[in-house]
Amino acid sequence: MDREGVSHRSTTSSPSGDKEKMTYTDTDIEPQVHIRGIETSAETALHRGLKARHITMIAIGGAIGTGLIIGTGKALAQAGPGSIFVSYSIVGFVVYLVMAALGEMAAWLPMSAGFTGYASRFCDPSLGFALGWTYWFKYIIVTPNQLTAAALVISFWLPRDRVNPGVWITIFLVAILCINYFGIRFFGEFEFWLSSFKVVVIVGVILLTLIIAAGGADGDPRGFRYWRDPGAFAPYIGTGSWGQFLGFWSTMVNATFAYLGTELVGVTVGEAQNPRKTIPRAIRLTFYRIVFFYCISILLIGMCVRYDSKDLGFANDAVTSANASPFVVAITQAGIPVLPHILNACILLFVFSAANSDLYIASRTLYGLSSDGAAPSIFRKTNANGVPLYSLGTSAAFALLAYLNVSDDSKAVFGYFVNLTTIFGLMTWISILVTHIYFVRARRAQNLPNSAMPYTAPLGIYGSYGALFMCCLIALTKNYDVFVGDWNKKYPTFITGYLGIPIYLILIFGHKIWTKSKGVRPHECDFYTGKDIIDREEEEFLAAQAAEKANKPEKRGARFYRRFVSWLF
């Protein structure tokens, strides 16, 4: 044990993750040099300002977005209510397995570098390199796209010929930049209330569609009528049972991309208070919320709207505003006025929240890459509020691409970039699952039992194998429809849909050739370097929390919230 009382225990480290020499002063136990993936110095450390309620709401906020409110319309029209209910349920379970795999690693060692650091440390430095850069690339493209979407949502009320969308893009860009600049506590509080609002909206939509399905809105109880006529499974491309299967499989892709972003809780581990408790709790609650928010709302919308409805076909042409939502179609068909305007305002907040969190993810991903040694060290420097300013500024600069998206000439090209980056989200899940498989194999090789883990994935390594198979299958077949019909019209979709896979592989093998790095062998995997620092932080936090509880006993309202409401809000 060192003279300052900090014990170090380590095994042979991963190929590119050797622990650097650590020095302490007599008066300060903070380490003065860098451990790969874990930042502790004042100049580079993030602040652990995210409370448990922030983490849980950010987790569900990442899962609830326009993919549920708007994207389900296209899936319903394409494949029918039965297909989308089954596909969203299956993919929802896969998402839970991905989150559980991530949670097991994050609870053991909450690294500043996030899941990029886990890939480098537990699996292969080249995997961490490819994962981090493609994930960052995804979010510097998605952020400006969200800003443009917000401007288009406003065109529901103010057409672009009256107010240039660039005005709204500027307002939203300045707003999200300020929210991210003022520190993690401000960001966490802001996202908490935005995500809470999302939950209120989704609960309201679920209750409304339940009332419509039961006939409470117009006196016409629909029940499962539309599951019988025109049917639960719509044929797509083909005919008969084969066409129905193709329709079902096409919605597997829609469901996958609706859930993308749920993994962002893995980016927050470096800024979470008591992450070994809050991260697993957020992941456990994710399962119940997926069932409640996604599966129930998908079931109900399939009861309220026919998949061959002309109104639904018009909605799919609307693309962004409330007119694009199948829930608005249900409201309109039930003869309820005004609500489409209210829902459009809700969608605007959804998109704004997405842009805000996307910029956060982009900045922290670049910071994590720097912490992991895969990007210049300047990107891990933080200000007094614990904000990585250089990472934030660089990521925000790419948000200016939103102005290109306003022009019709560049809009198609920008759309190709968005299509290209969506596959990177799926590759992120695959990388997390592969890393978890390596992590569990290394635990077994080094006799690290489940009882020593703060959290373990419920289905263990076998759940990760199953989820990995499904993710790979979806990634390889996600654009299968380009092979049917006019190839001359569809080849751009094919290129942008699959180009991300070879780019990912080139980054992995290119890094491996350049750095001559090797995969981490199970018996050499480093589980302990830097863990003592996290242990000490946890002890200090729990001691402070216990002292606070002793001085301020828990109120009845707080106890009621924790036991009965916290799973939802």
Q: What is the 3-state secondary structure (H, E, C) of 127-158?
A: HHHHHHHHHHHHHHHHHHHHHHHHHHHHCCCC
Q: What is the pLDDT of residues 162-187, one digit of tens each?
A: 888 888 899 999 999 999 998 888 88
**Euclidean distance between CA atoms 116 and 432, whole angstroms:** 9
**Euclidean distance between CA atoms 50 and 47, whole angstroms:** 8
pLDDT of 561? 62
Average pLDDT on 481-505 reads 81
Percentage, residues of the chain above pLDDT 90: 20
**Euclidean distance between CA atoms 352 and 41, whole angstroms:** 33
Q: Which of 413, 468, 408 is nearest to 435 (CA)?
A: 468
For 14, list phi and psi in degrees, rounded to 5: -65, 160
The residue count for the chain: 569
Percentage, residues of the chain above pLDDT 70: 84
Q: Which of 142, 179, 149 is nearest to 165 (CA)?
A: 149
**Euclidean distance between CA atoms 381 and 38, whole angstroms:** 13
User: Residue 146: pLDDT above 90?
Assistant: no
Q: Which of 443, 110, 461, 435 is nearest to 277 (CA)?
A: 110
Average pLDDT on 494-501 reads 85
Map tokens 């991309």 to a residue. Answer: 257
| 0.75 surpassed by pTM | yes
Tokens found for residue 538? 């946890």
Structure confidence at residue 8 as a pLDDT band (50, 70, 90): very low
Average pLDDT on 348-375 reads 87
Q: What is the pLDDT of residues 273-308, one digit of tens each?
A: 788 888 888 888 877 777 788 889 899 999 988 888
User: Residue 51: pLDDT above 90?
Assistant: no
Specify the DSSP class assigned to residue 484: S
User: Residue 359: pLDDT above 80?
Assistant: yes
User: Residue 506: pLDDT above 90?
Assistant: yes
Q: What is the pLDDT of residues 300-348, one digit of tens each?
A: 999 988 888 877 765 555 555 556 678 888 888 888 877 778 888 888 8
**Euclidean distance between CA atoms 159 and 165, whole angstroms:** 9
For 38, list phi and psi in degrees, rounded to 5: -130, 120
Average pLDDT on 65-93 reads 85
